[in-house]
Structures are given as structure tokens and as C-alpha cells.
Structure 1
């Protein structure tokens, strides 16, 4: 039988259940009225009668942390780990010691709404998706019966930064190449390498002298350097392991570089410069020519955009970039391809007009 009583200004309900043959108490407090407390108790009694009662009722954030440490942390990169830790911190702040069965869809929607008042939509989506992944696990493990995140919507009032794909125009690219190709700064050499190869920053940083094949004019990409972890790791995807053909002019210049014992691009600290250092150098160089300011990753977009503008096939560009799927390349550079398609349409119609 249930026990319902008033404590201060709120009501508390107790229901006794059997766990492992022992009688234990399920309690919930904070109800505004006796009717609400009684409704909760009746629901627990019904679950007990139908053998649907969750008896391993843990604190939500405790279960979330256990799940993260066992199933997620060993497989994640540092940047992704930070999102899981940020999510755990937010859940702990909002829900504290609340039990996993006491969280409802409205509770989660309120949390998402409050977080969205001060964060961009992409950040809100990270929090929602990570929490949803845990809740689906909790349902599979019979920790809860329903996925309370399923009907929750992302909410944000903070405008996201402009996500327009930023890359250099051809004349800007040429000027940058002239700036870096004979520049002895390690960051300049990294910029020069990226703009002619399309490599990600972590891939450029992970190159060693052995990865340069001067006989065949190729660079072998087989690992990446993770700045935060300060260690080599596998490339982003299996298709990121690739051998890239490089211009002979670049290879002749690179052949003269003094490379480090462990890294091709080695700073005075014995490790590659940080992405922050590379971005600062890139900005300085671009400002000298009044060129558009882009990030180091924008060099990769510049490389791909230039090749696509020269009628290089999308399949080859995708392979050169190391994308796991050509659809990624298509979606990333869709606006460029649409522009190219429009030019091709006009060209085709011009030819067809001559037939008539």
C-alpha cells in the first residue's frame, strides 16, 4: 500500500516494492497537491502489479557517467569527449540527484529551452543528441521504459555564426603561394603543403620525413597528430589513409627543407606548431595582400574549389580529400557544383542552338 503525507508545503508519496526478495521503499516528494502524489503512487502500484516496475532506479547523472566511461570515452577523440563532459556537467547542474525514472519529456524540453536561450542551435543539438543516445541505451537496458527525449525539439535564440564555405579566390590563392613557397617559417611550410594537397591540419601536422617520396612526388597520409592529446592517432576515416600526388615544383622545394627527427614540421618545442599558431601566420600573410581571411581549414576548401573549377572530376577530388563518401564532397561543395552546372547548361544550349 502507498503512504502519502505532507512535508512542509509539498506532498510526499511512498510505495513499498520487492527487490531481490527484500521489501524496499520507492519515494518521491515535491508534489504540489495530494492528488498529484496519489496519482504517482497509483501509477507505481500498477507497474508493480504488471511486473513493469523498474527496480534498479539509479541517479540519472550517475548512470550517464557510467555509460560514458564504459561505452564512449575509450573510442572518442578529445574534442568529442569535451562535448560529453559538457553534457554531463549541464545535466548534473540541472538535475543533480534526480532518479532516472523521475525525468520526463517536459523536464528535458525545459532543459533544452533554457540552454538554447544562451547557445547556438548546433550546441543545443549536441546536448540533445548525446542525452538521447544515453536514454536509448537506458531503455535497452530496462533502466527506464520510455525514451523521454524522442519528442523533444531543439530550441535556440542565439544566431549561429556564418557557415558560408570560406575559400580563397584563384588570384588570392596564387598570391598566398608566392608568399609561402620560399618562406622558412614552419607554419608557412604547413600552409604551402595544405593548399597544394588539401590535407587537414592534423594530417599535415602528423607528417614525418618518411612520408615524403621525392622519387615519385607523393606524400603518404597514414596518421594524424592530435594537438590536445599530444600523440599520433589514426586518420579521421579509413579512406583518409591515402597517397597524394604533389606538384614537382612543390616537391623540389620541400626536398630542401630541414625536417625534424619525428615530425616533418617541427617547432622549437620538438612538436608541430599548434593550429592556433598556423592560423595566426595565415592571417598575417593574407592581410599583407588584402586577401580574404580564412582559417587553415579554409585552405582545404580552397584546394578542392580550385580543382573543381578546373573541371577535375568530383570523384578524384573526393579521393584526394580522403572523404569516406563522395556524397560528403557533393554536399560540401554543392553551391560550387551548382554554379558549374549552370555554366555547363549554358554551354550545352549554345552547342545545341548551332545544330538547329
Structure 2
């Protein structure tokens, strides 16, 4: 007996099968019309009647890897590939010799629970989502009859890292600027540009000398450097392509630096920009010298935005300067700062109103 129903904009068909003493359900979704779903269900029913309905069984870790190599790996960047390789390792560790037909919801929930006892929730979600995507493919390809990843709950007993936004206060920022201005290190030059532009590490590392307009005192951010793949990529979003106005004195200083042949900030021995790790180490050394708050290179971007907002620069302009796709992104990221300023403005407003 088959059941056909609509889910969202597509149709889903269920066919119930008897395997020994067990009743199983074979499901397929994504049909654009009800007739397509019905046609598929009739075909499955006919296979069941003729006893030719089979599954393509195999070791789940091997099947996951084959799926990844064909459908995922060619389109992914290095960071995403790492997550798939991690997921494959998890499957291999937990189910080394399990066939895909032997894995059920209970086993999968046990995997999630155990993995979640040692990892933060975001990591657990990555593993769950990637296995779920593979299992949906396996169902569609008739490898198995049922999606055992449905209704599985993500679990973690490990706290996520604090999401508190870290940025330098104005006094700390002034000390850092003083130190990097007097340094000839390439990483120091990158730190200075990040402070005054609010650009991400990948955007600063991807700058070429052609991106510096010393006549108009601007920097053009039109690409990013992906260190893992060692190639230029598009910026994070379309709106990240932007021209940033820079202080005249900083551009005059930058005009005296020696750029590389390919990159504005280049290590002579490698012909590549300093790594994010190298820039972070240099930044940490400077901050420790002055007992300042320790932040990452990305924290310079937050520092840039926080400084401008504290000086009552319009948030729309700050958003454009950061290359955010929408001012609401800026509002959400820096909500705590804006709330603090709002409280100050409320106090000032009430003081004036009380004078009436």
C-alpha cells in the first residue's frame, strides 16, 4: 500500500514493504507533481510483487567516501573538505565494519550522543548534517529504504567558546598603533591597514599594490586570499567588494613600504603573504607588551567598527565600510555597543526633558 502527500512545494511517496517479520517503509521525496510520485510508487509496488526489489548494501564508511569524492569534493574549498574528512573518520571509528543496512536511528543517536560528550554543539551539528545529507542520497538511490537520520537530536555537553565580541578600547588601540607604525615587519603593516580599514585578514592578505590609490587615498577590496588553497577567491559577499577611504597619513606611510611582486604584503622567501597565524602572533606580542586585552586579527575589524560607532559615525556608513550585505548584520553584530550608547542617549534625553 502506498501513500502520497505534499510537503511544501514537492510531493513525497511512501511504499510499505514486508521484509521477513518486519514491516519497512520506502520513501522518496522531491517529486514536482503528484502523478510523478504515484508513478514511482506503482513501480516500487510492481517490483515488490515480482520480488525484485533490492538494496545496494555496502560498508557505510566506504559508501560515504565514494559519495563525497563524486558529489562534494570537486566543488569544495579546503576548509569544507576538512569537515567531510572529519565526518568520514567519525563514521569509520564508530562503525568500522557496519553495512549501511545495519545502521538505524538508535545507533546514529548513540553516535551523536557520544561525539557530543567531547565536542561543542556546532561541531556535532556539522557531523550530523553531513551524514544526514549522505543518507538522503542513499535513500534516493535505493541503497536503503529509510532515512535513519530523521528526528535525531543534536546533543553536546561541551560549552561553546564565548561569543563575546573582543575589541580594543581606545587607549589600547592608540598604544598598538604607535608600535606598528614604528615597525618594518610585513605583519605590522598588515595590522595597521586592518586597523584603519576594518578589512578581514583574507582581504588584507589579498591586496596588491594596484589596489592602493595613493592619489585618492583609498584601498580597493575586490578579492580575498585563501591561504589553504593558495589562490585568490571572490570576496565573502558581493557587497564585500568595496572602496575604503583611508587617512592621508596612513596612505603616505604605506606608499613608503616595499610591496611584493604579486602581493602588497609578501614574504620574500615564500612569495606569499604572511599567514593568519603569523599575523596573530605578531599582534599578540604587541598587545602583551602593553598589557592590553588580547584579541585576534579579526578583532581588529571589530575594533575598527566599535571605534567608529563610539564616535557617533552613522551605522549605515560603518556597515558599508565593513562590506556588510545589510545594515541589519551590523546592527546584530554590534547590538551590545548600540544598546550601551542608547542607554547613554536615553539618560541625556531625560536630563534635557526634565529641564522643561
TM range (shorter): 0.7 to 0.9
Q: Secondary structure of 1:220's partner?
A: strand
Instruction: In structure 2, list runs of 5 or more residues that go unmatched.
Output: 1-17, 27-43
- In the TM superposition, what is the alpha-carbon distance from 1:205 to its structure 2 partner? 0.8
- In the TM superposition, what is the alpha-carbon distance from 1:291 to its structure 2 partner? 0.6
d(CA) in 2 for partners of 1:328, 1:99: 45
- In the TM superposition, what is the alpha-carbon distance from 1:258 to its structure 2 partner? 0.8
* Alpha-carbon distance change, 63 to 44 in structure 1, aligned in 2, over 3 angstroms: farther
Choose 134-143 or 113-122, whichever is displaced more.
Answer: 134-143
Aligned to 1:195: 195
d(CA) in 2 for partners of 1:327, 1:66: 41
Contact 2:24–2:145 under 8 Å retained in 1: no
Aligned to 1:223: 223
Q: Please list the CA deviations of residues 294-347 of structure 1 after superposition, one character each: whole Å capped at 9, or x if unmatched.
A: 111111111111112122222222222222333332222221122122222223
Say whether residues 1:337 and 2:338 are aligned partners: yes
Contact 2:222–2:242 under 8 Å retained in 1: yes
List aligned pairs for 1:1-356, cutoff 5 A: 41-43=20-22, 55-269=55-269, 270-355=271-356
d(CA) in 1 for partners of 2:311, 2:258: 33
Instruction: In structure 1, list runs of 5 or more residues that go unmatched.
Output: 1-38
* Alpha-carbon distance change, 290 to 273 in structure 1, aligned in 2, over 3 angstroms: same
Q: Secondary structure of 2:21's partner?
A: helix
d(CA) in 2 for partners of 1:144, 1:203: 45
* Alpha-carbon distance change, 314 to 94 in structure 1, aligned in 2, over 3 angstroms: same
Aligned to 1:32: none
Contact 2:56–2:144 under 8 Å retained in 1: no
Q: Secondary structure of 1:268's partner?
A: coil
Q: Please list the CA deviations of residues 270-294 of structure 1 after superposition, one character each: whole Å capped at 9, or x if unmatched.
A: 2111111111111111111111111
Q: Please list the CA deviations of residues 73-118 of structure 1 after superposition, one character each: whole Å capped at 9, or x if unmatched.
A: 2332212211111011111221234333332221111001111122
- In the TM superposition, what is the alpha-carbon distance from 1:44 to its structure 2 partner? 6.4
Aligned length: 317
Choose 223-232 or 273-282, whichever is displaced more.
Answer: 223-232
d(CA) in 2 for partners of 1:291, 1:173: 9
* Alpha-carbon distance change, 219 to 296 in structure 1, aligned in 2, over 3 angstroms: same
- In the TM superposition, what is the alpha-carbon distance from 1:51 to its structure 2 partner? 5.0
Choose 181-190 or 62-71, whichever is displaced more.
Answer: 62-71
- In the TM superposition, what is the alpha-carbon distance from 1:227 to its structure 2 partner? 1.7
Aligned to 1:23: none
d(CA) in 2 for partners of 1:152, 1:45: 19
Taking structure 2 as the reference length, the TM-score comes to 0.82
- In the TM superposition, what is the alpha-carbon distance from 1:41 to its structure 2 partner? 2.4
* Alpha-carbon distance change, 273 to 237 in structure 1, aligned in 2, over 3 angstroms: same
Q: Please list the CA deviations of residues 130-152 of structure 1 after superposition, one character each: whole Å capped at 9, or x if unmatched.
A: 22233334444454444322322
Taking structure 1 as the reference length, the TM-score comes to 0.82
Q: Please list the CA deviations of residues 230-268 of structure 1 after superposition, one character each: whole Å capped at 9, or x if unmatched.
A: 222222222222111111111111011111111101112
Q: Secondary structure of 2:22's partner?
A: helix
Q: Secondary structure of 1:188's partner?
A: helix
Q: CA RMSD in A?
A: 2.3
Choose 295-304 or 75-84, whichever is displaced more.
Answer: 75-84
